[in-house]
């Protein structure tokens, strides 16, 4: 029975030795797997850092574009406000021109007589001025009668064409 005891102790020692060997093999395999996992995580972290950097750049560009768009929108708002004011100014100018046109085409009766007299006086003054100029031109022509006809034509071009009298505006009833 003693042998049995030794055999069982030897089997138990051998079993413990086998368990220790298998534990060591399993731990080595687990260590290799853990190293591979660690490498994979390191690679993943590097790639994630690259993606994060690109995402940050993209976010910064998006912010710049957003600010630029906001500035341009504010510019467009000011341009549209200016256009509205320009429209108001144009309407006001049109009304002013129409009012001025009506005042010119239909003058106040007390100024109408004065305007006709001023027109007559201006016509007489222009007639006297151009007659005097024509007489001077004739005198100059007489003294330079040996010069070509070209000068005569140039002097005749100085005289204005006769003016037509505008019809009287229709009176409003």
Torsion, Cα 144 147 153 158, to 10 degrees, reads -40
| Per-residue confidence band for 97, with pLDDT thresholds at 50, 70 and 90 | confident
The domain in which residue 19 lies consists of: 1-106
Confidence band of 106 (pLDDT split at 50, 70, 90): confident
Q: Are residues 84 and 146 in the same domain?
A: no
Q: Report pLDDT for 173.
A: 47
Indicate the average pLDDT of the chain.
83
Question: What pTM was estimated for this model as a whole?
Answer: 0.38
pLDDT at 112: 78
Say yes or no: 121 and 152 in one domain: yes
Same domain membership, residue 57 and residue 13: yes
In a domain, 167, yes or no: no
Tokens of 28: 């080595």
Please give the Cα distance from 80 to 84 (Å, whole number). Answer: 6
Q: Are residues 1 and 78 in the same domain?
A: yes
Helices (H) and strands (E) in the chain, counts: 3, 0
The domain total for the chain is 2
> What does the pLDDT read at residue 45?
93
CA–CA distance, 91 with 89 (Å, rounded to integer):
5
pLDDT for the residue 90: 86
What's the token pair of residue 45? 């972290």
pLDDT tens readout for residues 125-150: 999 999 999 998 888 877 766 555 55
- Whether residue 63 is found in the same domain as residue 23: yes
Verify that 89 and 20 share a domain, yes or no.
Answer: yes
Let me know if residue 32 belongs to a domain.
yes
The answer to whether 159 and 130 are in contact (CB under 8 A) is: yes
d(CA 163, CA 166): 9
Indicate whether 31 and 72 sit together in one domain: yes
Residue 169 within a domain: no
Instruction: Tell me, yes or no, whether 48 lies in a domain.
Output: yes
Residue 73 placed within a domain: yes
Residues 26 and 96 in one domain: yes
Average pLDDT of the segment spanning 11-24:
95
Q: What is the pLDDT of residues 29-87, one digit of tens each?
A: 999 999 999 999 999 999 999 999 999 999 999 999 999 999 999 888 888 888 888 88
- Are 69 and 137 part of one and the same domain? no
1 with 56, same domain?
yes
SS3 108: coil
97 and 132 assigned to the same domain = no
Together in a domain, 5 and 81: yes
Band (pLDDT 50/70/90 cuts) for residue 162 is: low
């Amino acid at each position: 029975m003693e042998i049995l005891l030794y055999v069982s102790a030897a089997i138990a020692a051998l079993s413990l030795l086998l368990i220790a060997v298998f534990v060591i093999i399993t731990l080595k395999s687990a260590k290799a797997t853990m190293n591979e996992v660690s490498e994979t995580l390191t690679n993943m972290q590097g790639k994630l850092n690259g993606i994060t950097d690109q995402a940050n750049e993209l976010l910064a560009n998006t912010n710049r574009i957003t600010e630029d768009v906001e500035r341009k929108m504010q510019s467009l708002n000011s341009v549209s406000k200016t256009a509205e004011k320009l429209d108001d100014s144009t309407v006001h100018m049109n009304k002013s021109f129409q009012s001025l046109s009506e005042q010119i085409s239909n003058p106040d009766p007390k100024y109408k007589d004065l305007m006709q007299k001023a027109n007559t006086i201006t016509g007489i003054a222009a007639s006297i001025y151009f007659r005097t100029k024509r007489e001077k031109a004739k005198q100059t022509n007489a003294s330079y009668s040996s010069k070509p006809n070209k000068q005569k034509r140039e002097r005749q071009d100085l005289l204005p064409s006769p003016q037509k009298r505008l019809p009287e505006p229709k009176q409003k009833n």
